[in-house]
Amino acid sequence: LQGLTGQTEQNAFHLRELEKQFTAYKAEMDKRFADPAAEAADPTATPASLVPTVKPPSAATTAAATPVKKPAERPAGKPSTTDAARLALVKKVEVPASGNETKDAYDYGYRLWEAKLYPEAQAQLKTVVTKWPKSSQASFAQNLLGRSYLDEGKPSLAAVAFYNNYRDRPSGARAPHSLMYMGVALDKLGRKADACKAFRELEEVYGDKAPQDVRTDAAAAKTKAGC
């Protein structure tokens, strides 16, 4: 029991240290979340703290150089061909009906992700985490949410999703996976030092207890990041 208590305290210490290192990055992400226009303009953009500041042109210069265009109007009641095609793809994904509401909700999100319908998968997985935060499925859903962002080319959002899963559910089934993928996402953002810290945290906190596939993927990711 004493050994278990010591390990728990050590894990808590490592978690606090990683959280301190990640605070500035998460604060930057929170700013982006507060500005939907910025995220919509370029969801894959590197956080502002990582890029040089460029002085914007004056309002007069911008107004003179940019012609005013009237936005195209869509006929009322007529969805675009793209919307209709997207809806058709979503309808092809079978909705699980096993009787286990929580698992069915997660499995549906998984199927949407598997079909590469990432925005729809993200919405479904967020529902699982919000509605059943204490369920064992929450760890799976939050991790898959991060993977969906990563697969969609949004490593910034992915890193935050993975971090939140590890922070909120360190004993969850997918906590080691999220810590490993957080390192992958940070590496994609060019934050190699932080990525290496995440991989080191994975080894120190979970060690041999992490699933073999996670350890194998982490080893490859560490090599790629130059850790």
122-160 per-position pLDDT tens digit? 999 999 999 999 999 999 999 999 999 999 999 999 999
Q: Where are the domains of the chain?
A: 9-39+81-225
Torsion angle of C-alpha atoms 104, 108, 111, 112, degrees rounded to 10? -170
Alpha helices (H) along the chain: 2-33, 36-41, 59-65, 81-92, 101-114, 118-131, 136-151, 155-168, 175-188, 192-205, 212-225
Neighbours of 196 (CB within 10 A): 18
What is the rounded CA–CA span in Å between residue 177 and residue 80?
39
Q: Which of 150, 148, 128 is nearest to 139 (CA)?
A: 128
| pLDDT confidence bin for 83, thresholds 50/70/90 | confident
Percent of the chain with pLDDT over 70: 65
Fold for domain 9-39+81-225?
A: 1.25.40
This prediction's pTM: 0.69
